[in-house]
Amino acid sequence: MCHNKKFDFIIVGQGLAGTLLAHDLIELEKSVIIIDTHLKASASRVAAGLINPVSMKRCIPAMPSNYLTTAFNRYSDLEDKLNSRFLFKKPLLRLFDSFETKDLWIDKYENKHMDLYIDNFCKENTFPLLKDEFSSALVKHAGYLDLKEFLAVSREYFKDNNMLLEKKFNFSEFNKNYISYKNLKAEKIIFCDGFRIKENPYFDYLPIAPTKGELMQIKIPSIENFDKIISKGIYIIPNGDYMYTVGATYNRDDLTENLTKDGQQSLKDKLDEVLNVEYKVISSVAGVRPTVKDREPLIGMHNEFNNIGVFNGLGARGVLNAPHFSNEFSKALISDSIYKFDFKTIDRFH
């Protein structure tokens, strides 16, 4: 492979952010080279990929509704482009923890347009396998993205088209004046480096507050494939063949991919509050979410070096919001002003 040429963009990181941005820029007919190696604790390769349009506690939309439409359309288009399947639409069953919560949801359904997201309510004790003694609601427009598959088939695509350098990006070999890295040159470089932005000398000032999460894969021998995602303090996503993904924990103190006793125990405790049936833990993983205090993504260009940019801070709902932000940012990157697009730039921290 010969990388001795000039590209429009160097993208550092092939997680969810870098992958979507690369696809968008390529489709805008820009030349792209991605530099990525599988560094420990990265978020996208472990994430459950849940797409849940409703904030469960307050029963309000989690994101503007156009983000949801953009996400479903984009992943579905990418399935066609990459000739693979990774988007799974499934309703989500919200089990209530009290009748007060149920009343709040009914009020939002009847008076606050949440019928756009809530399909219907189920009576208490409808599902023998679940502890649904306070009844439940069925959320529509939900699902999950098989991120492992999406990233793997995208990586193959980038490799086949000579767009991937499988190496760690070493800042000491980057020349900010020429946007050159080793023998690569580009018009712009965009960092999509997840929580490792903390070690990025150009953007380490941004207020990232990474959050570690642990997940479990369980087997439920009595249920081959429950037809809904289950949510009550945790989510349980049916993956078929008796297997389910259970997540997730939140921990700001430990940014390793090591599993913890507390994390694993808290998932088991919550599972016991949901399931009426036996299950077996098959495996567990952990990763670190690039979360930001104000819950807005980190998108934009460096205030001094305006050919150096960042696409990060996707937080705990990256799968739902990333296609919208990638679409807007890619258009911004090839336009004369980034301010006419629909995202808050990192200028809010300058």
Ligand X SMILES: Cc1cc2nc3c(=O)[nH]c(=O)nc-3n(C[C@H](O)[C@H](O)[C@H](O)COP(=O)(O)OP(=O)(O)OC[C@H]3O[C@@H](n4cnc5c(N)ncnc54)[C@H](O)[C@@H]3O)c2cc1C
Binding interface with ligand X (CB under 6 A): 12-18, 35-39, 42-44, 46-50, 168-169, 192-194, 196, 213, 215, 247-248, 287-290, 312, 314-320
Nearer to ligand X, 135 or 312 (CB): 312
Helix axes 65-82, 147-160, angle to 10 degrees: 50
Nearer to ligand X, 130 or 216 (CB): 216
Nearer to ligand X, 168 or 340 (CB): 168
Using DSSP, state whether 87 is helix, strand or coil. Answer: strand
β-bridge partners, 218: 244, 281
User: Least distance from C-beta 12 to ligand X, angstroms?
Assistant: 6
User: Least distance from C-beta 107 to ligand X, angstroms?
Assistant: 27
Closest listed residue to residue 93, CA positions, set 62, 138, 48? 138
User: Least distance from C-beta 46 to ligand X, angstroms?
Assistant: 5
Q: What percent of the residues of the chain are helix, what percent strand, and what percent coil, each to the nearest 5?
A: 30, 30, 40
Q: Is the distance from CB of 68 to CB of 320 less than 8 angstroms?
A: yes
Angle, CA of 18, 188 and 13, to the nearest 5°: 20
- Both tokens of 256, joined, read 């390793």
User: Least distance from C-beta 151 to ligand X, angstroms?
Assistant: 8
Q: Is the distance from CB of 53 to CB of 320 less than 8 angstroms?
A: yes
Nearer to ligand X, 114 or 246 (CB): 246
User: Could you check whether the bond before residue 248 is cis, i.e. omega within 30 degrees of 0?
Assistant: yes
Q: Give the list of residues 6+ apart from residue 304 with CB closer than 8 angstroms, or none.
A: none
Nearer to ligand X, 108 or 317 (CB): 317
User: Least distance from C-beta 103 to ligand X, angstroms?
Assistant: 28
User: Least distance from C-beta 226 to ligand X, angstroms?
Assistant: 17
Nearer to ligand X, 43 or 56 (CB): 43
User: Least distance from C-beta 14 to ligand X, angstroms?
Assistant: 5
Nearer to ligand X, 71 or 220 (CB): 71
CA dist., res. 38 & res. 159, Å (int): 15
User: Could you check whether the bond before residue 43 is cis, i.e. omega within 30 degrees of 0?
Assistant: no
Q: Is the distance from CB of 93 to CB of 129 less than 8 angstroms?
A: no
